A and B are shown apart, each in its own frame.
Chain A
Amino acid sequence: MATLIAIVLAAVLTNNFITVKTYGICPFLGVSKKTSSALGMGIAVTIVMTLATAVTYPIYEYVMVPLNFEFLEIIVFIFIIASLVQMLEMIIRKLSPTLYNAMGVYLPLITTNCAVLGVCELVIGDMSQFLEGAAMNMGWAVLYALFAGLGFTLIMVIMSGMREKLNNVKVAKYLDGFPIAMVTAALICMAFMVFTYIA
């Protein structure tokens, strides 16, 4: 139970992927102009992060480590992620065109989202600080990925809310676009810095 709480808190708040680790910044800046698209992107990323971890973690732990193929991790992981994204796109298109319209457009972008590769690399590394003494296993890895994805979505949605408001104000010429978005992001980061003190 303590481990569960520790992982959830760390993944969502204290070690948030955007505000603390600065992973997944491209979609964070690129797809956060509207709340609906930010939410769609966030959910798509969460799903891919969870699935990718669920596939890469056992492959790394039970196939690559025993065979001493750890050095191929990057190639294997990126290949798994790319195929997973492709497969997910096909499945969603077949099963639910509505869902595909809402989410499908973001899927191809996710392959090169470093939050996905980042979480796969993180969970095979040293996770002891989040585990409160429990042993690392696949369950914790997937749980961490899921909540890291939800933390990512949370920040995406907050950011999009702020940027929707920003549309209504006049911004100085050179500050418009990316610069003002980054200053906005800095404010969110500052607010989230508070959570680092609960750890």
Chain B
Amino acid sequence: MTVKEFFKTNAFKCIAVLLSIVLICCIALTICDSLFEVTAKERLDRAIAEIYGESVEYTVAEIDEDKGDTAQYSIDELYDLSGKHENEFLMKITGKGGFNSGSVTCWVVATVSPVSGEDGDGFEFGGITKATIDSNVNQSYIHYITSDAIQAVINKQDGDGFTSYDTNGIKTGATFSLGAIANALNGAKEYVEAIYCGVVLPFDGYEYTDKLNVNETTVTVDGTNVNYHIVTNHGNHPKPFTIEMTVGADGAISNYTIIVNGSTMDYGSDMAAIALNMNGQTLETLEAFINSDGIHTGATYSNEECVYAGLFATANYEKALAEFSQGGNA
């Protein structure tokens, strides 16, 4: 069979037709692909519009490295909305400390409102207008958390932030996951306040402030003794703890008194001995304790808050002594 004959056979016709159809289709698709390409910007717009419920104008804001990642939360994405949503911030924020040492990532819209003060115009934190769950790590019961439950946490805002405890009787069965969400909301508030409202929290730069209500905690200095009046934040408790203690030059705690025990009813008696009486403890012994199994007594969270109070007191002795020795207060 000559080459010329081959070109006349059916086999050649089959191959030629098939190949040319494939070729034409591929070319057509390539052209259309460049025509209908969805850009990365468009995808982001869409994702944001879906979270927001409408399309919005925004700019991607830079996240402060120091304030954007703490023990309680970390900010993954931050958008500064403009246009009719001026003064609103959309952020993807991960609240830590959930069930099984996992976390919950939420989309949160935080607002600021302009205020004019003595030292010029500024902003103050306006509130959280929207919060939805994006994803989670290890939160087996996350599907119990309804939007009503999240709204209840948002509404339960008081001076010291959002709390997931006793949210108007809404019971989710996912206390720890909701706690992580509260952490995310508090993180959003803290971050917005620190970066955009210029709020400098008391005890900024101190160690072990995670479980502290920094606004109500006070410190006085008496010679070489530092007296602490510590109020904890209440993550999963009905009430915060109020504890007084003194740290001396030797770094040990004395005069340890729990003024208000914030533990859930009946759990107080389960607290570890060291948490109930911290006299004589130092930074080293407390740090050893917080990492040991001794902390899990059935009142783990109460233990943690007390021990963190002790850690705060002992770890920051030098700093507090220097700052408050003029008799000043935070």
A contact set with B: CB distance below 8 Å: 71-72, 75
Between A and B, 9 residue pairs with Cβ closer than 8 Å are A71-B29, A71-B30, A71-B33, A72-B26, A72-B29, A75-B22, A75-B25, A75-B26, A75-B29
Question: Could you list which residues of chain B lie within 8 angstroms of chain A, going by C-beta atoms?
Answer: 22, 25-26, 29-30, 33
Contacts of B30 in A (CB 8 A): 71
The docked-state distance in angstroms from the alpha carbon of A75 to that of B29 is 10
B35 to chain A: closest CB distance in Å?
11
How would you classify the secondary structure of chain A's contact residues: helix, strand, loop or mixed? helix
**For chain B, what secondary structure do more than half of its interface residues adopt (helix, strand, loop), or is it mixed?**
helix
List residues of chain B with CB within 8 A of the CB of A75. Answer: 22, 25-26, 29
Say how far A126's CB is from chain B's closest CB, in angstroms.
Answer: 12
B26 to chain A, nearest CB (A): 6
B26 and chain A: residue at smallest CB distance: A72
Give A70's nearest chain B residue, CB to CB: B33
Q: A72-B26, A75-B26 are in contact. List 7 more A-B contacts (CB 8 A).
A: A71-B29, A71-B30, A71-B33, A72-B29, A75-B22, A75-B25, A75-B29
Q: Report chain A residues within 8 Å CB of B22.
A: 75
Give Cα A72 to B23, complex, Å.
12
Complex-state Cα separation, A80 to B26, whole angstroms = 15
When C-beta atoms are compared, the residue in chain A nearest to B34 turns out to be: A71
Chain A proximity of B144: nearest CB distance (Å): 14
Chain B residues near A72 (CB-CB < 8 A): 26, 29
Compute how far the CA of A72 lies from the CA of B22 in the bound complex, rounded to whole angstroms.
11
Q: In angstroms, how far is the closest chain A Cβ from the Cβ of B38?
A: 11
CA distance A71 to B30 in the complex (A): 8
B102 to chain A, nearest CB (A): 11
Which chain A residue has the least Cβ–Cβ distance from B138?
A133
**In the complex, what's the smallest C-beta–C-beta distance from B207 to chain A, in angstroms?**
31
Which chain B residues lie closer than 8 Å to A71 at the CB level? 29-30, 33
- In the bound assembly, the distance between CA atoms of A71 and B26 in angstroms comes to 10
Residue in B closest to A79 when the chains form the complex, CB atoms: B22
Q: How far is the CA of A183 from the CA of B35 in the complex (A)?
A: 46
Residues of A within 8 A of B33 (CB): 71
A72 and B33 alpha carbons, distance in the complex (Å): 9
Residue of A nearest to B137 (CB): A133
